[in-house]
Each structure stands twice: as C-alpha cells, then as structure tokens.
C-alpha cells in the first residue's frame, strides 16, 4: 500500500505540473480539462476513501502552490471529490466508456457546486463557476470526453506498479 500511495502522490503531482504547463495548449475557448480532478476521482474509486482522500489532499496542496488560489482551497475541493467518489469503491463496476463519461461530467459539476459553496462561505472571494455561462459546460464536456481514455491510461499505469510490486509469477 505504501508504494501505491507514494506512486499516487508522484503521479498526481506530475499531472498537476502537466496541467499547468502543457494543457493550456489544448484549451477550448480558454477552458482546460481538469486532469487532476479526473485522476483524483479515479484514484478514490480504485483505492477507497482513506488513500483516495489523502492523495487528493496532497494533490490539492500542490495545485494551491502552483495557482493563485488561497492555500487549502484546491485541497478542500479535491478531498471532497475524492470522498464522494470513494463511495463507488467496491460497489460499482467501472466499464470502459459509459461510466467514465458519467463520472467525468458528474465530478466536474460537483466540483463546481462545492467551489461555489466555498466561495459563498468565504464571502465570494474564492473562484466559483457561473452555472449559466459556457465555461463550466465546456469543462464538463471536455472532462466527460477525456475520462474514458484517461481512466484507461491510469489503469494501465497502476497495473504496472501493482504487478511489479508482486513480482514475477
């Protein structure tokens, strides 16, 4: 479990770095997919509430350090998304296409709701989404479309780590 936890933290830190540097090049109308959110949700689904939420918190802190958000904002958002996604752990079989699309879109909408709640809680000084504007819905669509491919890539990476840890048969 410790190897998987360390791998998860390094993976999410790498995804945060990629999201901050390379992903802006593929933005649609200035909107980028939230690969960090997709990774956190997938990890929480795969590993459960304790490991998923722990990794999400650390990943959120890394995002906070690389953004203009107040320290703890992204950590709170990602931890909540991981905690919600962890309810699927062990109870829902993740298919290759449909469920990742639903999870990608749903987690983005939940992130927007949670961000808006935190913004209201702190007097509107935090980033929140406009539910009537196009930005949120482009991000929802982007994350939904990318989720099946991204979940498959993450599954392959985790299989390599878990198989290497077990050793040859």
For residue 28, report the phi and psi dihedrals to the nearest 5 degrees. -110, 115
CATH number, span 2-166: 1.10.1760.20
- The DSSP letter of residue 128 is -
Q: How many residues does the chain have?
A: 169
Spatial CA neighbour of 63 closest among 49, 48, 81: 81
- Full-model pTM: 0.90
- The DSSP letter of residue 87 is G
pLDDT per residue as tens digits for the range 102-114? 999 999 999 999 9
* The two structure tokens encoding residue 51: 């490991």
Spatial CA neighbour of 129 closest among 71, 63, 138: 138
Q: Please identify which residue in the block is written with the tokens 């752990």.
A: 89
- The 3-state DSSP class for residue 28 equals strand
Distance (Å, rounded) from C-alpha 3 to C-alpha 21?
27
Cα-trace Rg, the chain = 16
pLDDT per residue as tens digits for the range 66-85? 888 888 999 999 999 999 99
Per-residue pLDDT of the chain (169 residues; tens, 9 = 90+): 688 888 898 999 889 888 888 888 889 999 999 999 999 999 999 989 999 999 999 999 988 888 888 889 999 999 999 999 999 888 888 788 999 999 999 999 999 999 999 999 888 778 789 999 999 999 999 999 999 999 999 999 988 877 765 555 5
């Amino acid at each position: 479990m410790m190897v998987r936890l360390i791998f998860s933290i390094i993976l999410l830190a790498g995804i945060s770095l990629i999201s901050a540097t390379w992903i802006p090049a593929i933005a649609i109308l200035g909107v980028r997919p939230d690969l960090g959110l997709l990774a956190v949700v997938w990890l929480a689904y795969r590993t459960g509430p304790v490991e998923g939420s722990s990794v999400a918190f650390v990943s959120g802190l890394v995002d906070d350090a690389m953004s203009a958000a107040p320290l703890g904002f992204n950590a709170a958002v990602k931890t909540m998304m991981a905690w919600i996604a962890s309810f699927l752990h062990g109870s829902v079989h993740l298919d290759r296409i449909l469920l990742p699309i639903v999870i990608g879109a749903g987690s983005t909408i939940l992130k927007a709701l949670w961000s808006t709640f935190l913004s209201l809680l702190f007097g509107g000084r935090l980033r929140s989404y406009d539910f009537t504007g196009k930005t949120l819905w482009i991000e929802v669509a982007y994350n939904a479309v990318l989720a099946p491919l991204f979940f498959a890539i993450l599954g392959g990476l985790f299989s390599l780590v878990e198989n290497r840890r077990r050793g040859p048969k």
